[in-house]
Structure 1
Amino acid sequence: MANPLLFRSLLRDAPLANASNQQGAAAFAFTPRHKLAKMVMTGCMNETFYASGQAQLNDVLATAKDLDDLFLAQLSIYGRERGMMKDMPALLTAILAARGSALLPVVFTRVINNGRMLRNFVQMLRSGVTGRRSLGTRPKKLVQRWLQNASEERLLQASVGNAPSLADIVKMVHPRPQAAWQEAFFAWLIGKPCDKRSCRKKRARCWRFVKATWARPYPMCRFYC
């Protein structure tokens, strides 16, 4: 007979399941930090086979509620820079903004690094899921600074998308233009008269031309897949 100390069943040493997963099967609960880190690096807040987007959002909010600002700040930056995630880091940044955390300016600078992230942040903060519906003084100034420091190319890229659109955000925070081209760009963006000659790059002029031609009938073209 083989040595029973070496070949004993491992089931007796296995811990008992203390939770259930989204399917209802037995599972093991993580610590709050481990659980939130896993959700930030793998979550999508959209419909999945077992979990709905609302269930994932509720889980993130409930888990983050009892965690400190420093951990949320570190996790938000890590999820954006290492995990290349979008929605989860933006949500954690919105949670920090709702808390009035002193770490918000540092996190905002590193996480909100393009127009898509800016729209996500504003959308989540204004939705009320984090506990507030207004941007507040500090988040508003951070959004203003982002708009003022962005190049014309970056603003043009950020103008694609809606709910909210970049024009909605400009109307919301009223950034003060730092140059003539910015004043013209912001005016054009929200539909006000502007000096088109102040737009420095051909890219903006081409974009205005494309938008102006959208209302025209399309020519008959052959499309190939």
Structure 2
Amino acid sequence: MVNKSLFQSITSVLPRGTVVSEAGGPAYTLSAKHALAQMAATGTFDNVYYATAKNQLDAMRKLIDEIDDNEFLAKLAVYSRERAYMKDMPAALLVVLSTRDTKLMHQVFDRVADNGRVLRTVFRMTRSGQFGRKGLLNAIHP
């Protein structure tokens, strides 16, 4: 007879999901930084199969509120633009930086808003007021 404690199924050894995903299946809880990094590298502000654009924006703002590390947000914005080739997520992180730390925003601005499309997105997001400001005047002239 086989020793069941040595040859148990792999599914009984792996940890179980602790939350429910947008698709309704079991998932794992990520730290706020990890979840935001994943969102910045793969997310979109558009309706997708299991989530609406509004839900994704709300989730991003909630994660950003949990993170009190502006340097991390600046590095994530640059990474998201230069390595993950995203456009909207780094623009959103840049607008958040404009409300939190204008010095850091100035340091990464050229690396994030590196073309006209991203620059237009930054201004559109700013004017919408979704991230706490309606203009960049105070961010440009502190």
Query: What's the TM-score once normalised by structure 1's chain length?
Result: 0.58
Equivalent in the alignment of 2:41: 41
Runs of at least 4 residues off by over 4 Å: none
Instruction: Please identify the structure whose Cα radius of gyration is greater.
Output: 1
SS in 2 for 1:103: helix
CA distance in 1, matches of 2:25, 2:9: 23
CA distance in 2, matches of 1:100, 1:136: 14
Q: Deviations over 1:156-197 (max 9, x none)?
A: xxxxxxxxxxxxxxxxxxxxxxxxxxxxxxxxxxxxxxxxxx
- Alignment RMSD, CA only? 1.5
Equivalent in the alignment of 1:122: 123
Matched-pair contact (CA < 8 Å) for 2:99–2:139: no
CA distance in 2, matches of 1:78, 1:17: 29
The Cα shift of 1:115 comes to: 0.6
CA distance in 1, matches of 2:138, 2:129: 16
CA distance in 1, matches of 2:107, 2:132: 21
The Cα shift of 1:133 comes to: 1.1
User: 1:55–1:87: structure 2 CA closer, same or farther, 3 Å change rule?
Assistant: same
| Structure 2 unaligned regions, length at least 5 | none
Equivalent in the alignment of 2:88: 87
CA distance in 2, matches of 1:112, 1:30: 29
Matched-pair contact (CA < 8 Å) for 1:69–1:101: no
Query: What's the TM-score once normalised by structure 2's chain length?
Result: 0.90
Equivalent in the alignment of 1:59: 59
Equivalent in the alignment of 1:23: 23
CA distance in 1, matches of 2:79, 2:39: 13
Superposition map of 1:30-179 within 5 A? 30-67=30-67, 68-139=69-140
SS in 2 for 1:76: helix
Matched-pair contact (CA < 8 Å) for 2:102–2:139: no
